[in-house]
Amino acid sequence: MAKKTKHNSAVLELLDYLFEGAALLPMPLETPYAHMRRLRSWHPGDGPKIIWNLKKSGLVSVSEQNNRKFVKLTKKGELKILMSKAAWQSSGKWDGRWRLIMFDIPEGSRKQRNLLRQLLKRAGFVMLQGSVFVSPHELNRQAVEYLKQTGLIEFVRMMRVDEMDDDRKLRKRFGLK
């Protein structure tokens, strides 16, 4: 499950605020009690503060046209959402192949390298060596899209490996037979 960060929850709060009309309606199959409980935790006055915080952190931009304000995700905001969607999702039964991801990012891009490590861990990969990660599952589309949009894809090599010399610890780590 993806780790919930301050920015991820703020984006969700922003979406709730922007779609306040829809948020006030009962959800499908929601009981009246659950609907009332959900409405009690929703505070429409928090919207401007949420937008201000997102703008301050560079995740959204606010523009005004014809006395109406528009909120738009910035490139940084789009990348943050892609990163949050990159969480691992099981693709079913293991096919017996390991997915290896190796990268060599220059020292000057240490922040990008750390973001890549964070992305791979979120996607369910474990570190085999410093810049080598392994998983029995493929990297999802959102994670690959993040790599493409940030330009990190040129420093990354992805492989599917049929066998490994001693994968007992990895099998145990992922709960595989």
SS3 81: helix
pLDDT in tens, 94-144: 888 999 999 998 888 888 888 888 888 888 899 998 899 999 988 888 888
What is the value of pTM for the model shown? 0.61
3-state secondary structure of 98: strand
Domains within the chain, CATH numbers bracketed: 6-81 (1.10.10), 91-174 (3.30.70.240)
Task: Name the residue among 15, 32, 170 with its Cα closest to residue 77.
Answer: 15
CB atoms within 10 A of CB 70: 10
Distance of alpha carbon 50 from alpha carbon 47, whole angstroms:
5
Tokens 């922040």, located at residue: 111
Choice between 75 and 45, residue whose per-residue pLDDT is larger: 75
Tens of pLDDT, residue by residue over 14-29, are: 555 554 445 566 676 7
* Contact of 79 with 149, CB cutoff 8 Å: yes
> What pLDDT is recorded for position 4?
47
Per-residue pLDDT at 5 exceeds 80: no
